[in-house]
Amino acid sequence: MAGPRVEVDGSIMEGGGQILRVSTALSCLLGLPLRVQKIRAGRSTPGLRPQHLSGLEIIRDLCDGQLERAEIGSTEITFTPEKIKGGIHTADTKTAGSVCLLMQVSMPCVLFAASSSELHLKGGTNAEMAPQIDYTVMVFKPIVEKFGFKFNCDIKTRGYYPKGGGEVIVRVSPVKQLNPINLTDRGYVTKIYGRAFVAGVLPFKVAKDMAAAAVRCIRKEIRDLYVNIQPVQEPKDQAFGNGNGIIIIAETSTGCLFAGSSLGKRGVNADKVGIEAAEMLLANLRHGGTVDEYLQDQAKFIVKKSEDEEDASKDTYIIECQGIGMTNPNL
């Protein structure tokens, strides 16, 4: 039987679901039993919400582990992992809980499984306080595949706040280990493109207005590039509920990707949504780094000033992240 449990205080860092996701995934990968206490202790509705619970359950299923005290509202869980086996698994938040956050907790585990996995993730695809599925497919996917694995993400149905109802199927083959990457050459922006969508009862004009406002905002700062933002009416059979939003991507000559995105809310005019996404993208381009703020917040980093400075007036920093050197014991 396993040794002592790793104890994690779930109220540290941002004190939300993220510390729970990271520690459960690591517990599963390293085969270390885990106890997390004070889960989301400082939040207005403390303890596990449906999306956190479904994330824990998919990890349990992936490795035939044991999960105790895991129910809605619970502020403490224990988890005892076994061998990660892959196969077909479903996680359903039954709410607008983010499928992208379900992916965050399960993806590291299935990479080190014994065989290929197919994850059926159900919930919100374009939800607040989480990456939009478009970000996952258009930015996260091409960048993380540089580590030496491929995954396929099939958006079956989109789901929006408050009901969710979206479904994404993720297929991943395991790897022996991940390769380190070096992403220090920013290059220059070569293209800017995106997608402004409406779903359900919202008029197509809203998508066109979001796109046009975003283009106008970007043009003020970047004049010489064509900005191609497609307005899209989500097909009725591929979207559940009503929603609108926009994502804009900037791609550079060296393959760096940056994004800005925004979701519509009731009573917020379409122009404002478009401008918010454009301003987020421009802010991410101004800082001169090689990834945007949402891609770089995933682990422990060492930050040091760059020595080889062509331009003394500019401060350049190199950010390094030490991986745990995980190799797949099942392959």
Could you tell me the sign of the dihedral formed by the alpha carbons of 15, 160, 142, 262, in that order?
negative
Q: How far apart are CA 26 and CA 105, in angstroms?
A: 9
Q: Does 297 show up as a binding residue in the annotation?
A: yes
Q: Which of 245, 238, 247 is nearest to 166 (CA)?
A: 238
C-alpha torsion 273→277→280→282, nearest 10: -120
Going through the chain in order, the beta strands assigned E by DSSP cover: 6-9, 34-37, 66-68, 77-80, 87-92, 117-123, 151-159, 166-172, 189-199, 227-233, 239-240, 243-252, 257-263, 301-305, 317-321
Q: Does 230 show up as a binding residue in the annotation?
A: no
Q: Does 104 show up as a binding residue in the annotation?
A: yes
Q: Does 188 show up as a binding residue in the annotation?
A: no
Whether omega for the bond prior to residue 50 falls within 30 degrees of 0, making it cis, is no
**Order of strands, sheet of 189-199, starting from the edge strand that comes earlier in the sequence:** 227-233, 189-199, 243-252, 257-263
Q: Does 295 show up as a binding residue in the annotation?
A: yes
Q: Does 296 show up as a binding residue in the annotation?
A: yes
* Identity at 211, one-letter amino acid code: A
> Which 8-state DSSP code applies to residue 146?
G
Q: Which of 180, 179, 178, 176 is nearest to 328 (CA)?
A: 176
> Which 8-state DSSP code applies to residue 179?
P
> Which 8-state DSSP code applies to residue 299?
S
Segment holding 102, helix H or strand E: helix 99-111
Q: How far apart are CA 327 and CA 331, in angstroms?
A: 9
Q: How far apart are CA 72 and CA 56, in angstroms?
A: 12
Q: Which amino acids are annotated as binding site, given as ranges?
A: 104, 294-298
Q: Which amino acids are annotated as binding site for ATP, given as ranges?
A: 104, 294-298
